[in-house]
Chains A and B, each alone.
Chain A
Amino acid sequence: MSFTQWLLTFIGLALVLLGLILIAALMVYGERRILALLQDRLGPNRAGPFGLLQPIADFIKLITKEDFVPPFADRMVYTIAPVIVPLTVLLSFAVVPMSNDWWLADLNIALLFVLALSSLRVYGIILGGWASNSKYPLFGGLRAAAQMISYELPMVLALMGVVMLSGSFSLVEIVAAQELPFIILQPLGFIIFLVCGIAETNRLPFDLPEAENELVSGYNTEYGGIRFVFFYLGEYMGMLLIAALITVLFLGGWHGPWLPGVVWFAVKTLALIFLFFWLRTSLPRLRYDQLMDFGWKLMLPAALINLLITAVFGLFWMEN
């Protein structure tokens, strides 16, 4: 590639990076306002019009805090762990198609790439909990590990139905195959992926790794300042990624009448994000054994049955 092409690529990357971080920051604001809306409160409305500058105020507050490493922590791992979380999420966004010609990379194994990175993401949480060398973060990290194993399995199995229907691992081709959104052909797969996606991003009602009532703040208890920002950004960008993935895999991505593709993609993703916020206000956190029961005894068999049904239907009908 020539120098100009490299330059344009880097500018594009920087724009996507900044855009995603900005969206994640606005999601924090949006979440606080929506939680307030559903809980008879007003929410942050002081900084700027309607409090829209609140994320900037929060960010300035957090970066001006002392850069603190607890004396008992494993210094190197403690520093690296919070970087892993947003890094993996940002990498995953490279393969998400936002419109019929808007994507950064069209890998033929995009789905596997995303799943691999979402498994790597949990390393940030486990290592953060481990390196803090403190009781509650350790519990949070261990819970994150157990939760990831329990929910990654049904999640991947639910996705196999989509892969069977579209015949490709590439997200671009999966979207292209969805003239009829896969939510209609794969309702069970959609529900399983939605639930597991919420569990993967550690959102309520599956936020066991950072259960405030039991574990202070879970894996990020010992973190503050800019390192905490990394974890926080990672969590919200992870939520955005799961919403985008559900849109791409089950809701037809950029397909939709009248409006341009990007708008449809944004509308569907935002609706899913609203659903995440709404679930947070409405549902209590699961108990730990309930979480495991739910994952292994309900989600996994359901995902297997869904896979079986899809395979049998595909064998008899889609061949013809």
Chain B
Amino acid sequence: MTWTKQMNNRKPPMIIRLWHSLWVTLRHAWARRETVSYPEVKRPLPGRWRGRIVLTRDPDGEERCVACYLCSAVCPVDCIHLQAQQRDDGRRYPVTFRIDFSRCIFCGFCEEACPTLAIQLTPDFEMCEQHHSSLVYEKKQLLIDGQGKYPGYNFYHHAGVAVPGKTIGEADRDTPPVDHDTNLP
């Protein structure tokens, strides 16, 4: 109570306080504008902006996606639909890959879940359409020719699976598997 009384006593007279708030707003007439004329002026978006989703390729030009369904499983709004297929050399790929952007909430969980860094979110949000159905992107709209955010990354050169020309443990940053039998006492 005494504190409020002291505060009240220290306040300048009302007319000064009114003038102060008027002066503060008047000064802002010459300040820099915080808003921009959007379609003409575009603010630069950060590289990690979570926008339109793409499927990337590895440095050899192959699809990175191995159709593991993790993105589809983690998606909180169930907007990713895909169908897996196996190639003759044993490598898996999605036959169909469909994202319904009218349901997508751009949370980025699919990107975090992806073990092969195939699915990535890009700094692009300008994808308005007149109809919901136009927002359903098929695989040919999602798949890009580039490598996205991780140039030079090839999943098979880092992981412990055998592919033609490489056995387990031979790749860069790869260690040979542990033989559990020799570790036993």
Contact = CB atoms under 8 A, between A and B. Distances in A.
Interface in A25-58: 37-42, 45
Interface string A257-299: 0000000000000000000001101110000000000000000
B133 interface: no
A281 B21 CA distance: 9
A169 B134 CA distance: 69
B33 A282 contact: no
Interface string B42-55: 00000000000000
Contact of B25 (A38, A41, A42, A45): A38
Contact of A282 (B22, B35, B36): B22
B127 interface: no
B33 to A, nearest CB: 6
Contacts of B29: 37-38
Q: Classify chain A: how many residues form its interface, as a range.
A: 10 to 19
Nearest to A191: B15
Contacts of B31: 40
B34 A283 contact: no
Interface of B: 18, 21-22, 24-26, 28-29, 31-37
Contact of A278 (B25, B34, B35): B25
22 contacts: A37-B29, A38-B25, A38-B26, A38-B28, A38-B29, A39-B28, A40-B31, A40-B32, A41-B34, A41-B35, A42-B33, A42-B35, A42-B36, A42-B37, A45-B37, A278-B22, A278-B25, A278-B26, A281-B25, A282-B25, A283-B18, A283-B22
B25 A40 contact: no
A45 B28 CA distance: 19
Given A40-B35, A282-B22, 6 more contacts: A38-B25, A42-B36, A45-B37, A278-B22, A282-B21, A282-B24
Contacts of B21: 282-283
A45 B35 CA distance: 12
A45 B39 CA distance: 13
Which of B21, B32, B36 has the most chain A CB within a 10 Å cutoff?
Answer: B21
A180 to B, nearest CB: 25
Contacts of A37: 29
Contacts of B24: 282
Nearest to A45: B37
B17 to A, nearest CB: 10
Contacts of A39: 25, 28
A38 B27 CA distance: 8
Nearest to B30: A37
Contacts of A38: 25-26, 28-29
Nearest to B39: A46
A42 B31 CA distance: 11
Nearest to A275: B22
Nearest to A283: B21
B37 A279 contact: no
A187 to B, nearest CB: 13
| 9 A-B pairs with least C-beta separation | A282-B25, A38-B25, A40-B34, A282-B21, A282-B22, A281-B25, A41-B35, A42-B35, A40-B31
A40 B29 CA distance: 7
Contacts of B26: 38, 278
Contact of A40 (B18, B22, B28): B28
B161 to A, nearest CB: 56
Contact of A41 (B18, B22, B33): B33
Nearest to B24: A282
A152 to B, nearest CB: 23
A31 to B, nearest CB: 14
Which of A38, A41, A45 has the most chain B CB within a 10 Å cutoff?
Answer: A38
A41 B34 CA distance: 6
Contacts of B28: 38-40
A193 to B, nearest CB: 17
A305 B35 CA distance: 49
Contacts of B18: 282-283
A233 to B, nearest CB: 26
